[in-house]
Amino acid sequence: VPYISAGTIIAMAAVIIFFARTFGLWNVGLTYLMREMVCGNPVFIISDMKYAIKRNFKQGILFGLIDFVILAVFYIDFTNIDAFPSGFSGDFMYVALISIAIIYIVMRFYLYLMLITFDMKFRKIFKNAFIFVMLGLKRNLLAILWVVILVALNFGLLLLYTPLGIILPVLYIPAIPLFTTTYAAYPIIKKYMIDPVIQEE
């Protein structure tokens, strides 16, 4: 684009690269905090985040890059829906894209939880998360419903009084949605992955 200078492009690229490299670490730290809160354990925000990030540093960076790329691909696909062919094939691709995106969003409820809780290969983490999409269907749907309601309420607030609608989300988004999804997902992981091991011991 003519009005975007080379310096601006370099700065934007640097920001994107920094965000991509730290994306997984932020998710690891925040997920650890939410898991401890769901379990009823005391939480010390700074020290616990440092502990979680240090403990899962390499896995967090690599896993975060994979997650970031997948989400970026979904974003690019959705912003280029107009390029889909018309007719049945285009409609099929559109429905398939939405379905896959929804499944992956729900899988993310479990991905980082398993990463910080177990020592597993990434392939098994993705496989288990896909299975938990169905095993925890009821809890997953309720979590999605609550997140949608929260976003809708904030959008309504944004229309009623724009400054408040911009400022308030900083206080509860993404904290409340992340807590909600962790609250929905962790009992499923505990039931199918933690409790069986405890019973065997």
Give the CA radius of gyration of the chain: 19
User: How many Å apart are CA 24 and CA 14, to the nearest integer?
Assistant: 17
Burial of 65: CB neighbours in 10 Å, binned 0-12, 13-18, 19+: middle
Q: pLDDT, tens digit, for every residue of 57-81? A: 999 999 999 999 999 999 999 998 8
Supply the pTM of this predicted model: 0.89
Q: pLDDT, tens digit, for every residue of 153-187? A: 888 888 888 887 788 777 788 889 999 999 999 99
